[in-house]
Structure 1
Amino acid sequence: MKLTSALLPFALLLCAAGASAATSHDHQERPRARDVGIVIGTLPTGPNNAITDVEGVGVGHATLVRGRELNTGVTAIVPHRGNLYRERVPAAIVVGNGFGKLLGVTQVQELGELETPILLTGTLSVWNAADALAGWLLAQPGMEQVRSINPVVGETNDGYLSDIRARPIGKAQVEQALATLSYGAVEEGAVGAGTGTVAFGWKGGIGTSSRRLPEADGGWTVGVLVQSNYGGHLTVAGVPVWKSLPSPEALALHSRQEPPPWRGDGSIMIVVATDAPLDASALRRVANRALTGLARTGSDMSNGSGDYVIAFSTAKQNRRDPRAAVQPGASVGGEALTPLFEATAEATEEAILNSLLRARTVQGHRGTAPALPLEPLLEALDAAGARAR
């Protein structure tokens, strides 16, 4: 069968996808944004350019891959190394679009504090993950008399690449993620909760980034981690690259596969951490700016998209003891918040790009999500003068 010139690029991309499927979870060959000259914003990053640049924040993953049937997992984020139930942190949750299953949201909104690690996973595994997290927490030293706990578990739907109805995430995966926390470099791409996600029709996943403010603006750090699984028109560093990239939808149709989600339904979980002393009200305002970073990447925030931001402050002076009658509440406010807003928007945008760039092609339950093709992406950016040299 002869290929027309119009379909040849798609066929070549499909071949590349198949060749890389065997190593779909090996991230060594895929770059981060800054590795290829994509620099977002003006603020400097922290040393790891990750959410873990906020001191004390840890990230752990458990990845579950079983042939093409299962490509899923769970990602855990902890605000500090201590007992979070006994040393709670100020927190806020912002709902950009509420088509989702974020557990624990009402208590965080009501009390303005976080008392458990944050878990991210696939949609139909949320309840299993929450049960496993509650069990793990209740088994920790000093928790023997606890009678109420509020697990915070977010999700995106990974049902294109994984058999989501199997609901495979449970105690073993949650405990693995919590036992393998990293306080330095964070693995990105098709790992943990990002194993089976798709963004803009390309393979999405876990991504992270950070910003460090100048001393004149407080010297604080903002870190962001995302689980990208949403649609729209991909825009990179202000360039509408969707106009020049090959279409993942056309690629799927040519290979007689079900098209991956592209412009329609999908979701994103965004976690924002900072060491700036912020109360719940200020954190809510910071969380809203993460949606600015999301918008810059071309998100439509469609009807069926669950777009959530969880923000927390690790500042030690603001940690809350539930037994204390008076709780601390010092917070950055006024114009001093503006640099934190800027840092949050920048770090969110870059974290999303890292989630795409680091992800490799994954062949899954209902089809294949190809990795974002680097060469045409960089050519589009170069044509627009949008890449650092």
Structure 2
Amino acid sequence: MLSIDDRVDPSQVTPSGRPRARALGIPLDGRPGPHNAITDVPGVQVGYTTLIEGAGPLVTGQGPVRTGVTAILPRGRDGVGRACAAGWFSLNGNGEMTGTAWIEETGALAMPVVITNTHAVGPAHRGVVDWVVAHHPQAARQWLLPVVGETWDGYLNDINGSHVRPEHAVAALDSAASGPVDEGSVGGGTGMNCYDFKGGSGTASRVVDYGSRSYTVAAFVQANFGSRRELVVAGVPVGRALLDDNPMEANASWPAPSGAGSVIVVIATDAPLLPGQCKALARRVPIGLGRTGTSGSHFSGDLFLAFSTANDAALSSTFPRGAATDEDYESLTFVPWGRIDPFFEATVQSVEEAVLNALVANETMTGRDDHRSPALPHTRLRDLLATGRQELTAP
């Protein structure tokens, strides 16, 4: 496999050598950052724990195992406890994202963000607490409300088998790093499906010029949503031409309706934004998802978080002592609302590409009970895109 070095463009190839959407020549709007990843936002780090074990019939508690944990550190491992402006949005609430009540109350995020499978939220949450206690005991002197999001990987994984444990969340946090980010069947995305193809983890970024400065807006997705017929790539409805080889749809014993699943999206930026503006970015995530074709199934949990790493520590809460003084104020610099549209556009573009990267940077996976999730066929996709919209949309 290829490795990322001076000869390889990380916007087109993952660290493990898998092609990304741009490597297939998919036309995409906007200018990506150097790694085309959420880690293009200075300070943001991403880590994974990937659990793959066993094959054949499901034996609850034994496997097969196809799951994991993804960790995102907004200010890196040394910045835990220093709050970022943050906001969140639920397109459809058939899912879970912990810590959001406190984000709604304060407009701030000071803890790590972890993504895993639906039935592993508890152990992952415990793992984050254990990690913070060990590495940031000062922050652990008050209550800890980390963000843990989930999507359901039960088609491929022994989801009821308690295979994700607190130490796996700890390991993901310990491995978090800046630079290129692997995609596909890694971390919490290991056992996920997207548009009835193999889905999982994906990321992308966009650069926004603002006066003499440049800022980055970036997305990380755990993609586990959509039905095959909905899939759209670069405006071309390719899904309707790829309806064959769909084991999930063909499995008469499988209870989940087409389109069921979930998607967790994390938006990061170094642009100075208010909490309400972060929430506004999170509300634009569905537009990026919609560009890939989804109509947002009732059976899909679609939960989105956005944060800004600017205004370092201005939002961090401290326990007050004594009476307030004339110096007890904080100041926030922020992009005026009238200038925010380019950041909305960058959000939409990065979400769309992150989903496509999760699909493209993947391979076919077989899991529990020999359930198979096929990879998006690259050659057929290129041919369909070359054919163009007119032929595919003809009656």
- Structure 1 equivalent of residue 384 of structure 2: 380
Deviation string, structure 1 residues 105-153 (Cα, Å, up to 9, x no partner)? 1111111111211000000000110011112112224427613110110
Farther off after superposition, 374-383 or 212-221: 212-221
Once the two structures are TM-superposed, the CA of residue 304 in structure 1 deviates from its matched residue by 1.3
* 1:37 aligns with one of 8, 12, 25: 25
- 8 A contact 2:197–2:376 mirrored in 1: yes
- 8 A contact 1:231–1:262 mirrored in 2: no
TM-score (norm 2): 0.85
Q: 2:214 aligns to what SS in structure 1?
A: coil
* 1:143 aligns with one of 128, 131, 138: 138
Q: 1:151 to 1:257 in 2, by over 3 A?
A: same
Q: 1:63 to 1:326 in 2, by over 3 A?
A: same
* 1:165 aligns with one of 155, 160, 170: 160
Q: 1:170 to 1:352 in 2, by over 3 A?
A: same
Counterpart of 2:143 in structure 1: which amino acid?
Answer: S
Q: 1:125 to 1:235 in 2, by over 3 A?
A: same
Distance in 1 between residues matched to 2:49 and 2:314, nearest whole Å:
28
- Structure 1 equivalent of residue 303 of structure 2: 308
- Structure 2 equivalent of residue 202 of structure 1: 197
Once the two structures are TM-superposed, the CA of residue 169 in structure 1 deviates from its matched residue by 1.1
Farther off after superposition, 208-217 or 94-103: 208-217
Q: 1:73 aligns to what SS in structure 2?
A: strand
Q: 1:291 aligns to what SS in structure 2?
A: helix
Q: 1:91 aligns to what SS in structure 2?
A: strand
Distance in 1 between residues matched to 2:162 and 2:89, nearest whole Å:
27
- 8 A contact 2:91–2:286 mirrored in 1: yes
- Structure 1 equivalent of residue 127 of structure 2: 132
Q: 1:226 aligns to what SS in structure 2?
A: strand
Q: 1:262 to 1:30 in 2, by over 3 A?
A: farther
The residue correspondences of 1:213-252 to structure 2 (distance < 5 A) are 213-216=208-211, 218-232=213-227, 233-249=230-246
- 8 A contact 2:269–2:307 mirrored in 1: yes
Counterpart of 1:110 in structure 2: which amino acid?
Answer: E
Counterpart of 1:95 in structure 2: which amino acid?
Answer: S
Farther off after superposition, 217-226 or 365-374: 217-226
- 8 A contact 1:248–1:260 mirrored in 2: no
- Structure 2 equivalent of residue 371 of structure 1: 375
Distance in 2 between residues matched to 1:263 and 1:377, nearest whole Å:
21
- 8 A contact 2:82–2:312 mirrored in 1: no
Once the two structures are TM-superposed, the CA of residue 329 in structure 1 deviates from its matched residue by 2.8
- Structure 1 equivalent of residue 118 of structure 2: 123
Count, aligned residues: 358
RMSD over aligned Cα, in angstroms? Answer: 2.3
Once the two structures are TM-superposed, the CA of residue 306 in structure 1 deviates from its matched residue by 0.5
Once the two structures are TM-superposed, the CA of residue 376 in structure 1 deviates from its matched residue by 1.2
Farther off after superposition, 94-103 or 208-217: 208-217
Counterpart of 2:232 in structure 1: which amino acid?
Answer: T
Distance in 2 between residues matched to 1:27 and 1:181, nearest whole Å:
14
Distance in 1 between residues matched to 2:255 and 2:373, nearest whole Å:
7
Q: 1:285 aligns to what SS in structure 2?
A: helix
Once the two structures are TM-superposed, the CA of residue 252 in structure 1 deviates from its matched residue by 6.7
Q: 1:54 to 1:319 in 2, by over 3 A?
A: farther
Counterpart of 2:359 in structure 1: which amino acid?
Answer: L
Q: What percentage of aligned pairs have identical amino acids?
A: 38
Q: 1:35 aligns to what SS in structure 2?
A: helix
Q: 2:351 aligns to what SS in structure 1?
A: helix
Counterpart of 1:86 in structure 2: which amino acid?
Answer: G
- Structure 1 equivalent of residue 101 of structure 2: 106
Once the two structures are TM-superposed, the CA of residue 315 in structure 1 deviates from its matched residue by 1.0
The residue correspondences of 1:259-274 to structure 2 (distance < 5 A) are 263-274=258-269
The residue correspondences of 1:182-193 to structure 2 (distance < 5 A) are 182-193=177-188
Q: 1:88 to 1:384 in 2, by over 3 A?
A: same
- 8 A contact 1:260–1:368 mirrored in 2: no
Once the two structures are TM-superposed, the CA of residue 374 in structure 1 deviates from its matched residue by 1.0
* 1:342 aligns with one of 338, 341, 345: 345
TM-score (norm 1): 0.86
Q: 1:353 to 1:182 in 2, by over 3 A?
A: same
Distance in 2 between residues matched to 1:262 and 1:236, nearest whole Å:
23
Counterpart of 2:214 in structure 1: which amino acid?
Answer: G
Please state if 1:285 is matched with 2:272: no
Farther off after superposition, 74-83 or 234-243: 74-83
Counterpart of 2:246 in structure 1: which amino acid?
Answer: E
Once the two structures are TM-superposed, the CA of residue 167 in structure 1 deviates from its matched residue by 2.2
- 8 A contact 1:260–1:369 mirrored in 2: no
Distance in 1 between residues matched to 2:237 and 2:70, nearest whole Å:
30
- Structure 2 equivalent of residue 152 of structure 1: 147
Once the two structures are TM-superposed, the CA of residue 326 in structure 1 deviates from its matched residue by 3.1
Once the two structures are TM-superposed, the CA of residue 371 in structure 1 deviates from its matched residue by 0.6
- 8 A contact 1:278–1:330 mirrored in 2: yes
Q: 1:139 aligns to what SS in structure 2?
A: helix
